[in-house]
């Protein structure tokens, strides 16, 4: 899971709830600290154990380019209320929720980014065609379900939650297996408390279903390559979830732009925020210029 390095909201960033027909969505909304929003907005979608706070380090820089930026919690994640219905947590259902959110924001001409599992969600948003974003970025995501150690961790989480996940089971899981390693990792007490609160804030049913989805999602790269949307594949050179070579091959199949972030692993927005924000801004600006041409 991504671990934010700070939690204080930068200038120009505020915490809001966006009302949608599917329920409220928790959002960090960033605007330029000085000047107006002359460029199109962006919507950033986190991974399945992540949250909107995973993007804290890049929000201010992205907004300073002259655009409004929204980092969200998916339904059932952290501060976005969830549902007990497992059908609400398929990639397709979550992709629909992203489209509903974008329409609720009142501007469908947005740049859409999905990090990790969020990329499996946002590709469904693009493929469903409910909205046509100005651009689509897959950040540290892959062509289908994750494998290796990340898949093993997700399956262990599903097994621990059991067939009827509850908040009580999730709380016991955190305190028995996750709290100690989290606090021993060298992060501050404030960040460790946040990691606990975020995990326990998840809808247990949603967490289990998303864990299943992140391991079982099919490869839809061929379909996504036909989408009439400029695409970017961005990842850290040391990504330990989807292998960098798999993401490079996906970018080639998508005929997408590709950016490899030096010194970063699976969370380039945390590990190399300025480089990541610069690459995103450059891509988004090109996409807008192409739309005007």
33-37, 39-43, 248-252, 280-284: range with lowest mean pLDDT: 33-37
Q: What pLDDT band is residue 107 in, cutting at 50, 70 and 90? A: confident
What is the pLDDT, as a whole number, of residue 91?
Answer: 98
Overall average pLDDT of the 159-183 stretch: 93
Q: Render pLDDT for 125-158 as a digit per residue (tens, 0 to 9).
A: 999 999 999 999 999 999 999 999 999 999 999 9
Spatial contact of 274 and 249, defined as CB atoms under 8 Å apart: no
Q: In which order are the strands placed within the sheet that holds 42-45?
A: 13-18, 25-30, 69-72, 42-45, 111-115, 135-139, 231-236, 257-261
Does the pLDDT at position 8 exceed 90? yes
What is the pLDDT, as a whole number, of residue 35?
Answer: 84
State how far the Cα of 209 lies from the Cα of 92, in Å rounded to an integer.
Answer: 12
The backbone region for 35, taken as left when phi is positive above 0, alpha when psi lies in -120 to 50, beta otherwise, is: left
Task: Report the sign of the C-alpha dihedral through residues 107, 110, 114, 119, in that order.
Answer: positive
State how far the Cα of 129 lies from the Cα of 224, in Å rounded to an integer.
Answer: 11
Model confidence, pTM: 0.97
Average pLDDT of the residues of the chain: 96
N-term to C-term CA, the chain? 40
């Amino acid at each position: 899971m991504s671990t934010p390095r700070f939690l204080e909201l930068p200038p120009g960033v505020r915490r809001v709830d966006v009302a949608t027909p599917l329920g409220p969505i928790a959002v960090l909304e960033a605007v330029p600290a000085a000047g107006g929003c002359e460029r199109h907005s962006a919507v950033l979608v986190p991974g399945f154990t992540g949250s909107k706070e995973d993007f804290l380090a890049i929000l201010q820089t992205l907004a300073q380019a002259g655009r409004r930026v929204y980092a969200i919690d998916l339904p059932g994640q952290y501060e976005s209320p969830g549902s007990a219905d497992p059908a609400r947590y398929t990639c397709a259902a979550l992709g629909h929720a992203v489209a509903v959110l974008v329409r609720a924001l009142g501007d469908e001409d947005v740049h859409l980014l999905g990090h990790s599992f969020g990329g499996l969600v946002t590709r469904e948003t693009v493929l469903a065609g409910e909205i046509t974003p100005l651009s689509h970025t897959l950040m540290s995501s892959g062509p289908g379900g994750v494998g290796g150690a990340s898949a093993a961790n997700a399956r262990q989480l599903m097994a621990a939650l059991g067939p009827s996940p509850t908040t009580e089971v999730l709380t016991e899981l955190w305190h028995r297996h996750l709290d100690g390693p989290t606090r021993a990792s060298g992060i501050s007490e404030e960040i460790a408390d946040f990691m606990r609160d975020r995990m326990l804030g998840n809808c247990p049913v949603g967490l289990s279903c998303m864990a299943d989805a992140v391991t079982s999602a099919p490869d839809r790269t061929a379909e996504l390559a036909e989408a009439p949307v400029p695409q970017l594949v961005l990842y850290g050179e040391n990504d330990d979830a989807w292998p960098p070579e798999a993401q490079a091959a996906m970018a080639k199949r998508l005929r997408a732009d590709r950016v490899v972030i030096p010194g970063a692993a699976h969370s380039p927005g945390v590990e190399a925020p300025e480089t990541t924000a610069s690459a995103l801004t450059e891509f988004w600006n090109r996409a807008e210029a192409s739309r005007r041409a």
